[in-house]
Structure 1
Amino acid sequence: MAAAAGSGVGYNTHHHQVGNTGTPPMSAGPSGKRGRGRPLTGGANTSAFKAADVAPAAARRKKQKVAEKHIPDKVASLLPESAIYTQLLEFETRVDAALARKKLDIQEAVRSPPPVQRILRMYVFNTFANQNQDPNNSYHHHQQFGNPREPPSWTLRIMGRILESDAREPDGNTTKPNPALPKFSSFFKRITIQLDPSVYPDNHTIVWDAGRGSNHVEGFEIKRQGDKEFLANIKLEMDYTPERFKLSAPLAAILGVEVDTRSRIIAALWQYIKGKKLQNATDPTLINCDPALQRILGDKSVRFASVSSRLNQHLSPPQPIHLEHRMKVSGPMPASNACYDVSVNVPPPLLKEMSAFLTNLEKHRDIDLYDDLITSSIRKINEHLRRRAFFLGFSHSPVDFINGLIASQSRDLKMVVGQVGRNAEKERRSDFYNQPWVEDAVIRYLNRRPAKASEGPGNT
C-alpha cells in the first residue's frame, strides 16, 4: 500500500484578519482564484466574512501538495461521515510503516541470508551388463567363433539429494528431488574417481571440475567395459560458500570447532579473549596472550588487528571426503549400494519468495491508480470548497466582498507587472526625476535600446 501523501498533516487554512476598514482582501488574482469567506456576527465595523487565504499561487499549490490526500477541516465539520476516511488514512499509515519495517528485514535477509543446515544423502552403487562368469562361454570365445555379442561392462553411479523431513515414501526412500533445492553437483568443486591402474592402465583417473562451467546435475555416471572386480577410490572436495577452513589442533582445542568460516573463527577467538580477560587494561587494542594463545599467535602481546594474518598458518583447506567402492560384476543389482550423509548449508527455502516480494512491492500499479483517484477527488473537494466560500461571502455582504475582491485584484495585478513599489503621486512631481539615480538609469536604458539602422556606424 502506497504511503499516504502528507500523512499526519492536517489541512491548515491561513486567514489574514483585516482591520476596521470593512474591506477584507480576497485572493482572486488574474488567474480567477476565488477567496473563501465565512460570515461573522459583529457590528457594522466588522467584516461580513473572514478573509480568505491570500498566499501567492505557487505557495498555495505547494500547500495543497502536502495535504492532497487529507480532507479539509471545514469539509470534515460539514460532513461527519468523513471521519471514516480519516481513520482509513491513519490505518494506511500504520500499514505502510509495518511494510517498511518488513521490507528492511527482508532486504537484510536477502543480502546476507542465514545458512540453513540440511543433510545431503549420497548414494554410491554400480550396475553391470553382459557379464558371464563361465570361462568356456566368455566374450572372447564368442568373438573367436564369430558370434556377435555386446562386451561386458559396468556403470558406476554417484547420486545425491537434500533430505526433507516430510518427504518420505512408505518404503523409507526419499522422493524425487525438490527443484527448489540446489542440485547434487552444486555442493562440490571437484570430484575425482580413481580406478584400479592394473585393470585400467590407460585413463584410470576421472575428474569433474565445477570451474569448467558445466551445468549442475543430480548425479554422475561412469561407464566402462570390463568383467573384473576391483576397488575404486572416490574423492569429493566440498564447495563451501562462504569458504571454510580446517583449524589446526592447538586452535581447535581452545575454540572447540574444527571447520568453520574465517569470520566465525575470528569471532570465536574474540569471545575467548573477552572470556579470559586478555585485553590490556591501558590499551584495549593490545592482547596479552595466555600460554595456550601464545602457542598460536607466537608472542606474549599482539595487536588484535594482526590476529587475522597470524591465524593463516593455522588455517588450511578442509580435507576432502574419501570413499571406497567395490566394483562388483556379479550378484544382485544394484551392487554395493552404499549411503553416506553429509551436513551442508542450503539457501533459505523462502529466499526466492522474499526476492519476489521485494520486486512486487515496488510495483503498486493498482494502489497508485487508487491514490491518483483519491488525490483527484480531494482536489475537486477543495475546488468546491473555494467556490462555496466565494458565493457564501458574497451572499452575506456583497459590498464588502466586492471591495475586498477589487483590492485583492489590484494588488495581484501590480505584483504581476512589477509595480508593487511604485507610487503614482510621487512620479507626477519633477523632484522625483532630480534624484541621483536618474542619470545612471537613463544611461543604462539608452545602452540597452537596440540601435536603428540609420544610427549605425558609417551612416550620416
Structure 2
Amino acid sequence: MNNSNNPPKNPPPAPPSFSSIPVNPQPIHLLTQSHPQMQNPSQFPGHFQLSQPQPQPHVISQQQSQFVNPRSHPQTLQQHHQQHQQQQQQQNVASPATASTTSSVKRSHHKANSRPQGSPSGNQTSAFKTMELTPAPLRKKRTLPENLIPEKVAKIVPESAIYTRLIELEAQIDAALNRKKVDVQEAVKNPTSVRKTLRVYVYNTFSNQTKESGKVGGVELPSWSLRITGRILEEGGKDPVVGGISKRGSIVYPKFSAFFKKITVYLDQGFYPDKHVIVWDSARSPVQQDGFEVKRKGDKEFTAVIRLGVNYSPEKFMVSTPLAKVLGIEFDTRPRIMAALWNYVKFRKLQSPNDPSFFMCDASLQKVFGEEKMKFSMASQKISQHLSQPQHIHLEHKIKLSGNSPAGTTCYDVQVDVPLSLEKDMSAFLTSMERHKEIDAFDEVISASVKKIHEHLKRRSFLLGFSQSPAEFINALIASQSKDLKLVAGDASHNAENEKRSEFYNKPWVEDAVIRYLSRKSARTDAP
C-alpha cells in the first residue's frame, strides 16, 4: 500500500547487468563492508566495525543478481534479506586473508531508487546511518602570498623559520624604500629651498661717443647699453665666474630672471620722453634669462633707476609694525606667521577654557586686532589686514659715456631662496627603483620553489589523510567532488531526491507552476 496522494508509478526496469538495492538519499559514499562470511567483528582487522544485529547492505554480483523493486515489491525485498541471513548462519567464518581476496566492491552507476514510505527497511536505514560519513563543510580557502611558506611546512621543516625571517626583513626594507620613494616624489614636486646670496651686477657700455661721431659723414650714431645680470655665490661668498669655478661640481642654479617677478627700468624722461619706462614681467615672459639689456641712442649722461621685484616661493609678506612687535616677525610666509600667532596664544595660555575655538586677546593683541576675544577661524582674515607685499629693491646707476667701457663697478647682494637642484639625482633614484631585473628573476625562482612546496604539501596531506582512515577519506572526497560537479553543472540548488517524494508536489507553488508550464507549451504549439 502506498500512502502518497499520487498513484504509484512503476520505475523503468533496470538493465540486467545492474542490481537495484535500497540506499539512503544522500550523496554517494563508499560503504565499508566485509565478505558475507565475515560477521564476527572480533576477527575484522580494519578500522571500522559494524553492529552485529544490523543487516549489512551487500552488492550482489552479476551471476547472483535479481531485480528487486523497492516500491512495488517490498515483500520480495524482505525475503531476499531473510535468505541472505540463513546463508550466513550456515557457513563458517572464513579467515581474514581469504575474505580479503574474495570480497569485491562495485560502484553502481545507475540512479538509485528512494525508499518508499511504509517499507519494512528501518533496520537498513540505521545500518546506513552507522556507516555514512558526513563530509566536512566547505571552508573558504585562504589565499597565501606566493613566497610564503605554510605553517604546516614550518612545523615539519624547522629550517623554514630562517626563510620566514628573511621574508619579514624584505618586507621591512620594501616598506622603507616605498616611504623614501614617496618622500622623493614629494620633494621633486615641491623642492625645498636654501637661502643663498644673489649678486646683482649693473653696468653700462657705450660706443661712438667721440665728438666727430655726430658730424656729417659719420656711419653710426652714439649709443649706450645698460646691462643687468647676476649669479649665485658659492660657499665663502665667491663669484663662480670671477673665481674661475663656474663648472665646479654638478650643481646647476636657476637663471637670473627666475628670482624676480618684475623688473622696471626708469630713464630720464627729459632725454627719452616717449619710452622712458621699460618693464619686464615674468608672467608675460616665462622663459628664463641670464640677464637684461636696455639699448638707446644718445650722448648725454644721466642716472637710471632700477626696481627689482623678487620672486619669493612660497610667497612672503611684510608684517605691520604693531604685529611684528608682538610676534617678532617682520617678513615671512603666511603659514609661518599663523604658526607664530598660535605659539603666542599657547605660550601665554590665552585659549578660552569654555570654548577652545576662541582665544582671549591680551593688551598687545588688543592693540593689533582691537578685540578682547576672537575666534581662531577669524585670525587669518584679521592677519591679512596687517600683511603687505614686499617692497621692490631700489637701485640707481649713472649712465657714463666716457672713460672705460664697461662703466660701473657696483654690485648688490640680494638674499633669495634657491631650490635644491637634486632633481637629476632624485630622478635617477626613482628610475633605479623601477629596474629590478635581478630581483624579479630571484623572485620568480622563489615563487616557483614555494609553489612546488605547496604542491608537495597538498600531496602529503592527501596521502596522509588516506593512510589514517581510507574509507572516511574516500567518502569525503567523493562527496566533495559531487558537490563540485553540481556547481560546475549549475545544479547546486537542485535536489533530485525531493522530487521523488509526493509531498514535493503538494506545495502551493505547484498549481502556478503547472499553469505557466501549460501556457508555455501551448504557446510553442501555436507558434508557426
Give your verdict on TM over 0.5: yes
Give the match for residue 447 of structure 1.
516
Match of residue 321 from structure 2: 249
Equivalent of 1:175 in 228, 246, 249: 246
Change (3 A) 1:331 1:375: same
SS at match of 2:337: helix
Aligned to 1:116: 194
Report the Cα offset of residue 158 of structure 1. Answer: 0.8
1:139 maps to which of 213, 219, 233: 213
Q: 1:197 aligns with which of 258, 269, 277?
A: 269
Does residue 478 of structure 2 align to residue 409 of structure 1? yes
- Structure 1 residue 387 corresponds to structure 2 residue 488: no
CA shift in 2, pair 1:263/1:195, >3 Å: same
The 1:326–1:448 alpha-carbon spacing in structure 2 relative to 1, beyond 3 Å, is farther
Counterpart position of 1:155: 225
What amino acid sits opposite 1:161 in the alignment? R
In structure 2, what residue type is equivalent to 1:404? Answer: F
**Gap change, CA 1:220 and 1:55, over 3 Å in 2:** farther
Superposed counterparts of 1:88-107, under 5 Å: 88-106=166-184
Residue 195 of structure 1, CA deviation:
1.5
The 5 A counterparts of 1:30-69 are 45=47, 59-60=140-141, 63=142, 65-69=143-147
Q: Give the distance between the partners of 1:189 and 1:447, measured in 2 at CA.
A: 82
Q: Deviation at 1:87? A: 3.2
Q: CA deviation at 1:301?
A: 3.3
TM-score when normalising by structure 2: 0.63
- 1:185 shift after superposition: 0.8
In the TM superposition, 1:172-251 aligns within 5 A as 172=243, 175=246, 180-251=252-323
Query: 2:207: which partner in 1?
Result: 129
SS in 2 for 1:212: coil
Change (3 A) 1:339 1:388: same
Give the secondary structure class of the aligned counterpart of 2:201: strand
1:263 matches 2:335: yes
2:387 is the alignment partner of 1:309: no
Q: How far off is 1:368 after superposition? A: 4.8
Q: Judging changes above 3 Å, is the alpha-carbon distance between structure 1 residues 121 and 388 closer, same or farther for their aligned structure 2 residues? A: same
Deviation of 1:307 (Å): 2.6
Q: How many residues align?
A: 397
Paired residue secondary structure (1:270): helix
Is the 2:258–2:288 Cα contact (8 Å) retained in structure 1?
A: yes
Structure 2 gap ranges (5+): 1-29, 33-44, 50-134
Answer yes or no: is the 8 Å Cα contact 1:163–1:174 preserved in 2: no
Counterpart residue number, 1:37: none
In 2 relative to 1, CA 208–393 (structure 1 residues): closer, same or farther, beyond 3 Å?
same
CA contact (8 A) 2:203 2:228 kept: yes
Partner of 1:15: none
Residues 1:114 and 1:22: Cα distance change in structure 2 (over 3 Å): farther
Conserved 8 A contact 2:31-2:471: no
Measure the CA separation in 2 of the matches of 1:300 and 1:240.
35
Between 236-245 and 448-457, the greater mean CA deviation after superposition? 448-457
What does 1:421-432 correspond to in 2, within 5 Å?
432=501
CA distances 1:260-301 after superposition (whole Å, capped 9, x unpaired): 222222222232333344344444444433333222212333
Percent identity over paired residues: 44
CA drift of 1:373 comes to 4.3
- SS of residue matched to 1:241: coil
CA distance in 1 between counterparts of 2:258 and 2:279 reads: 15
Report the 3-state secondary structure (helix = DSSP H, G, I; strand = E; otherwise coil) of the residue aligned with 1:318.
coil
| Partner secondary structure for residue 283 of structure 2 | helix
Distance in 1 between the 2:169 and 2:175 partners? 10
On the 8 A contact 1:411/1:420 being kept in 2, the answer is no
2:140 and 2:189 map into 1 onto residues whose CA distance is: 43
CA distance in 1, matches of 2:527, 2:192: 87
Matched, 1:335 2:407: yes
Describe the SS at the equivalent of 1:260.
strand
Amino acid at match of 2:199: R
- SS of the residue 1:335 aligns to: coil
CA displacement 1:102-124 (0-9 Å, x = unmatched): 34544555565543211111111
* CA distance 1:420–1:278, shift in 2 (3 Å): closer
| Cα distance in structure 1, aligned partners of 2:519 and 2:433 | 60
Superposed displacement of residue 257, structure 1 = 2.2
| Matches of 2:287 and 2:349, distance apart in 1 | 51
Q: What is the one-letter code of the residue matched to 1:156?
A: L
| Aligned residues of 2:225 and 2:294 also touching (Cα < 8 A) | yes
Aligned to 1:336, what secondary structure does the other structure show?
coil
Query: In structure 2, what residue type is equivalent to 1:292?
Result: S
Residue 272 of structure 1 is matched in structure 2 by 344
CA drift at 1:326: 1.4
Q: What are the residue-to-residue correspondences of 1:2-17 with 2, within 5 Å?
A: none
d(CA) in 2 for partners of 1:171, 1:203: 35
SS at 2:410 equivalent: strand
How far the C-alpha of 1:228 sits from its partner, in A, is 2.7
Question: Closer, same or farther in 2 for the Cα pair 1:449/1:120, shift >3 Å?
Answer: farther
